[in-house]
Structure formats: structure tokens, C-alpha cells
Amino acid sequence: MCVLLWLCSAPYTPTGAILMPTLANDTHLVGTRSGLAQAATRLADVTARRQPVPAGAEVCQTGAVLSAVADLLDGINHEQRAALGHSARLGLVTQAQKLANRVDGLLRVLVGEAEQAGSSMAAQGTPTTTWLGMVGQMSPKQASGLVFAGKELTTHPITRQAALSGQVNSEQARTIHSVLTELPQDLDDEQRQAAETLLVEHAASTPAEG
């Protein structure tokens, strides 16, 4: 629920009100921070209960939340931003950037988990990189980079959580992985965990470099 909760906790501005067609009868809920939280929670619940489940398919809360977030984004009234002031526009950019980092982190984690489980080979008979190229509109280079980034996150739980929470972006996560792989081999697990924690804390408070 992390992405959805972030949306619900974001400061409310009238120009950022979200209209949800799937909850058209609940117009009294739309336009307030608490109302958006209620509507988002209900939308996630409706998605989870009504999503068609083919025989043998697995019901996943992550999928329900992603569908709910997509519906919320579809409901944004983009015309309402026309009269926004400069500070408000920059505030929206900041909010969108933070959300994008979290979604990107989730994508990489999901790809890493699928690669680790061998899901693409089992379900499609093809490597994850090839499958991503077919369904994700990615070049082979992009798909390969995404798979490697996902695999890296699965090996570093602290960095993984930081990526999911938006503390670090994808480039920072890859830099942390590179540093951790260069640590002396004689370090024990506790020392490596401490090093990873320090790297994540430093990255979270340091602007990303190009």
C-alpha cells in the first residue's frame, strides 16, 4: 500500500483534486484530503474484489493497489492547473518526482523477483529481458539494465526497502550496489549490513549525480 498511502498523505490543493469516474456517486468525497483517502481505500477494495480472476490465477494485493493508483491518475483534471502559481507548480513537480521514484523502485523490485523466480521462462518460455522487450516497449539494452537493477535490489534488503519508499532513486541504488560489491571479502554480515545502512542514509540526504 506504500504508493497509495503516499498519495493519500500528500498535501491537498484545490487544483490537485482528483475525480474518480468509478466512484462517480461519491462526489461529496472528492476534493478533500480525507475524502480522497476514503475514496482511494474504497477503490483499492473494489479493484481487489471485482478484478476477474482466471482459473489458476493468483490474487495479489500489489496488483489491486497498482490498478487503484492507475485509476486515480486517470481521474486527474489537468485543466485545473491552468491558474496555478509558480510555487504550487514546483510543489507538484516535487510530489510527482517522489512518486515516480517509488514506482520505479517497485518496478525494479518486481522485475528482480520475477527474474529470481524464473517466471518468464516458466510462463513464456523466454528470458526476462526478451519478454520485457516484447511487452514493455523496451530496447534490449533497457531491458537488460532493468533486469540487472532488479537482481541487484533483491540481494540488498536495506537498499531494496529504501528504493520502495523513495529514499533512493534507481541510480543511487545501483551505486550502492557497486560500492558494496567492492567491500573487503573478510567483512561479516553485520559489518556489511552496517555499511549498507550508512550508504543508504548518505544517498538519501545527497543529491543524485548525473
C-alpha to C-alpha distance for 110 and 126, rounded to whole angstroms: 17
pLDDT one digit per residue (tens) for the chain, 210 residues: 333 333 333 333 333 333 333 333 333 334 444 545 555 565 556 555 555 555 445 558 899 999 999 999 999 999 999 999 999 999 999 999 999 999 999 999 999 999 999 999 999 999 999 999 999 789 999 999 999 999 999 999 999 999 999 999 989 999 999 999 999 999 999 999 999 999 999 998 877 664
pLDDT for the residue numbered 26: 38
pLDDT for the residue numbered 8: 34
Of residues 162, 187, 189, 188, the one with CA closest to residue 175: 162
Of residues 58, 59, 52, 17, the one with CA closest to residue 36: 17
* CB atoms closer than 10 angstroms to residue 201: 14
Grid coordinates belonging to 144: 537488460
pLDDT for the residue numbered 127: 95
> Cell 539494465 appears where?
145
Instruction: List the domain boundaries for the chain.
Output: 1-82, 90-210
User: Is the overall model pTM greater than 0.95, yes or no?
Assistant: no
pLDDT for the residue numbered 145: 94
pLDDT for the residue numbered 37: 58
